[in-house]
């Protein structure tokens, strides 16, 4: 039933390498330029009004601007808004509604007409006019009317214009768009429906506008999923990361907006799918920057682990040699400065390290991992060094990733014979390591033990005494179960480990421990545990012992005879765990294994006494009767029929061997019933 398992858990312009991996050739990953990436989006926008109208005379343009100011100022005066405090007193012909403080879209009809004329005539008053409107848009009561009147769409079309537009006009147009969309989904919908987020993203490339374009995108996206989905689709994460890396986005406030946009985009499937391969390298590189704050590191790594849940990015990470860099991220997490008195920060870091470790586990489980990061090369040597690390997540990572390399007997054998990794793992079992570290180390040892040639080496290194102390981990059943499972694995066909398991705990004949063995400790765990999986696993371990010793009894060597005698003489309750295998209902194959083990025990005089002790469990005895009496002629599928035949044959052998040895402890009533069963029954040809 056992097999090797996954353990759970810049080289030039435009490209960077994923690390200093020496070994198989690993191709550098490409980092496309943002300008190139944005030019690939074939999106057409509604054109801005043409700027070829007859030029407005300066006096007329000034009058138009004053009119615009007066309309806005009248509303400001009535509402007491701070938005346009420096505008002049309103004209008496201002809209009647505006005079009463009502923000009606009709109030803005003349405003829209005015700015259109200023724009079309390329008036010098266009920039201050947009600034006045942008200031007004800071007042929440203006936001909806700006959208309903068409003013917002007008300025969005200017932002998206392919013509050369004055930076001041663009800056205040961005302000108007950002302010109008704050907490106003109707206006955000206008932006999204025209895909104007892409036009705003293109302004990230303008040094004079990036400081306003980023907060505008943030305003549009906050608490509005359609906008988040669109900017993610438009690859905002990669764009922001590349510009940060290139030094185009600076200052903590702006960086914080950018990091939030990056993290937001990682929550959108389409954004991950459309992100360039180099996104994960940028996330790693930024996370490793010394100036990256704790909060920024958490944001970047959360994004990184999300990207690496995607199959494509997992393959990219392995193929481009980025696993080594990902491991560096985990190591760097222990060097971060953060508020250690903050439970939130401590908890956030712990969760982050767990996520990174799980990601590394997933990466090392890929088939390509072993080919590109082979045993003995620098990356695996780094992992080996982490087996002795003081940081528990580094130890766990080393156990899991090296354990996932142990996929063949050849590799497992090299790990033990050449690199002696098993000795370091056994040292971990003897240490005061945390439960999660112990669990990972046991899992790795189990993989190594599957290669039969490794089991004597494990015995020589003292795996049984080392793991036996973990059977007392009462508060951590997972550790107990894994520790028992390891013993079962190492005793399969290994006299060396069986001998160690049956070793007396004291050489002093006068010591109470003289008549106890490591197996005694295991049987003691069986007696006090309430865990059915643990009880069943102990039973499978006992069955393994019996098979191993029985397969060597024909040698008649002194060592085998001693082991055989010690197995039964010092452990009268040896067969009770076999009963747990038989009474469990989850795995029929384990029940069959149990009947075989009992039949094997019953084949010797000493073993028959242990079998009788097991049959005192009425649940076991009842199942024995049912199995002996089973009718296999019904409408069963072939697999089930053969299983029942095999179980029945094993129980028949069990009964015949018991009656043959006639143990004195067998109750007369049971003996009589077993004799009745034995009369006239035959073992099927199948067996």
- pLDDT tens readout for residues 268-325: 998 899 999 999 999 999 999 998 999 999 999 999 999 999 999 999 999 999 999 9
Residue with tokens 């200023």: 118
pTM over 0.85: no
Q: Tell me the C-alpha distance between 462 and 470, whole Å.
A: 14
With beta carbons less than 8 A apart as the criterion, state whether 413 and 454 touch: yes
pLDDT at 47: 64
- pLDDT tens readout for residues 394-414: 999 999 999 999 989 999 999
With beta carbons less than 8 A apart as the criterion, state whether 213 and 174 touch: yes
pLDDT at 651: 93
pLDDT grade, residue 96 (50/70/90)? very low
Q: Tell me the C-alpha distance between 409 and 451, whole Å.
A: 5
Q: Tell me the C-alpha distance between 238 and 526, whole Å.
A: 56
Can you count the helices (H) and strands (E) in the chain?
Answer: 39, 2
The percentage of the chain sitting over the pLDDT mark of 90, rounded to a whole number, equals 64
pLDDT at 113: 81
- pLDDT tens readout for residues 649-672: 999 999 999 999 999 999 998 888
Q: Tell me the C-alpha distance between 207 and 131, whole Å.
A: 19
Q: Around 113, how many Cα atoms within 13 Å sit in the side-chain half-sphere?
A: 9
578: left (phi over 0), alpha (psi -120 to 50) or beta: alpha
Is the CA virtual torsion 643, 649, 652, 657 positive or negative? negative
pLDDT at 72: 56
Mean pLDDT of 56-75: 54
Q: Tell me the C-alpha distance between 627 and 99, whole Å.
A: 96
Three-state DSSP class for 20? coil
Say if domain 526-680 classifies as CATH 1.20.5: no
Higher pLDDT, 61 or 338: 338
pLDDT at 634 over 70: no
Mean pLDDT of 636-649: 86
pLDDT at 48: 65
Give 310's DSSP letter: S
pLDDT grade, residue 138 (50/70/90)? confident
In the chain, helix, strand, coil percent, each to 5?
Answer: 70, 0, 30
Q: Which range, of 68-72, 107-111, 222-226, 655-659, averages the lowest pLDDT? A: 68-72
């Amino acid at each position: 039933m056992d097999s090797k398992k996954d353990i759970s858990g810049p080289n030039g312009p435009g490209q960077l390498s994923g690390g200093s991996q020496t070994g198989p050739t690993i191709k550098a990953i490409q980092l496309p330029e943002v300008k190139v990436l944005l030019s690939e989006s074939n999106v057409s926008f509604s054109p801005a009004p043409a700027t070829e109208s007859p030029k407005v005379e300066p006096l007329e343009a000034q009058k138009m601007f004053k009119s615009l100011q007066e309309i806005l100022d009248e509303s400001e005066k009535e509402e007491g808004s701070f938005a346009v405090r420096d505008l002049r007193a309103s004209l008496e012909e201002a809209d009647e509604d505006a005079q009463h403080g009502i923000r009606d879209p009709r109030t803005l009809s003349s405003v829209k007409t005015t700015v259109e004329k200023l724009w079309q005539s390329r008036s010098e008053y266009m920039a201050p006019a947009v600034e006045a409107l942008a200031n007004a848009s800071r007042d929440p009561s203006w936001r909806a009317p700006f959208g309903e009147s068409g003013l917002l769409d007008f300025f969005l079309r200017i932002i998206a214009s392919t013509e050369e537009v004055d930076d001041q006009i663009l800056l205040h147009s961005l302000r108007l768009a950002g302010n109008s969309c704050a907490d106003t989904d109707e206006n955000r919908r206008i932006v999204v429906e025209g895909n104007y987020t892409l036009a705003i993203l293109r302004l990230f490339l303008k040094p004079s506008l990036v400081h306003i374009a980023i907060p505008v995108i943030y305003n549009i996206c906050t608490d509005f999923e359609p906008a988040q989905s669109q900017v993610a689709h438009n690859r905002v994460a990669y764009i922001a990361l590349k510009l940060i890396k290139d030094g185009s986005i600076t200052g903590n406030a702006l960086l914080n907006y950018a990091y939030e946009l990056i993290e937001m985009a990682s929550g959108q499937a389409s954004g991950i799918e459309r992100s360039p391969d180099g996104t994960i390298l940028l996330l790693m590189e930024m996370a490793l920057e010394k100036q990256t704050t704790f909060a920024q590191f958490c944001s970047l790594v959360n994004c990184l682990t999300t990207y690496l849940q995607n199959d494509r990015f997992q393959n990219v990470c392995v193929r481009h040699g980025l696993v080594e860099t990902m491991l560096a991220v985990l190591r760097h997490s222990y060097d971060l400065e953060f508020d250690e008195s903050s439970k939130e920060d401590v908890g956030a870091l712990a969760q982050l390290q767990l996520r990174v470790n799980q990601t590394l586990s997933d990466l090392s489980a890929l088939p390509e991992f072993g080919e590109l990061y082979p045993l003995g090369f620098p990356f695996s040597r780094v992992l080996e060094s982490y087996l002795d690390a003081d940081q528990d997540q580094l130890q766990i990572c080393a156990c899991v990733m090296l354990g996932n390399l142990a996929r063949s007997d050849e590799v497992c054998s090299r790990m033990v014979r050449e690199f002696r990794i098993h000795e370091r793992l056994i040292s971990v079992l003897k240490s005061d390591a945390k439960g999660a570290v112990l669990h990972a180390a046991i899992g790795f040892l189990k993989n190594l033990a599957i290669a039969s040639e490794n089991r004597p080496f494990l015995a020589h290194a003292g795996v049984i005494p080392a793991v036996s102390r973990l059977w007392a981990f009462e508060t951590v059943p997972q550790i107990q179960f894994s520790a028992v499972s390891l013993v079962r694995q190492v005793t399969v066909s290994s006299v060396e480990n069986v001998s160690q398991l049956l070793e007396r705990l004291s050489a002093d004949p006068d010591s109470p421990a003289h008549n106890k063995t490591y197996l005694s400790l295991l049987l003691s765990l069986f007696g006090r545990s309430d865990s059915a999986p643990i009880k069943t696993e102990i039973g499978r371990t006992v069955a393994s012992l019996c098979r191993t010793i029985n397969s060597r009894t024909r040698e008649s060597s002194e060592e085998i005879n001693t082991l055989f005698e010690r197995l039964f003489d010092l452990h009268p309750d040896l067969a009770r765990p076999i009963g747990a295998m038989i009474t469990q209902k989850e795995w029929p194959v384990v029940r069959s294994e149990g009947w075989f083990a009992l039949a094997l025990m019953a084949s010797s005089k000493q073993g028959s006494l242990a079998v009788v002790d097991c049959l005192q469990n009425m649940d076991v005895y009842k199942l024995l009767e049912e199995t002996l009496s089973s009718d296999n002629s019904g409408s069963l599928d072939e697999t089930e029929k053969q299983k029942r035949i095999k179980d029945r044959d094993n129980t028949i052998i069990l009964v015949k061997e018991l009656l043959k040895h006639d143990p004195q402890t067998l109750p007369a009533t049971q003996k009589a019933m077993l004799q009745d069963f034995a009369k006239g029954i035959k073992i099927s040809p199948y067996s």
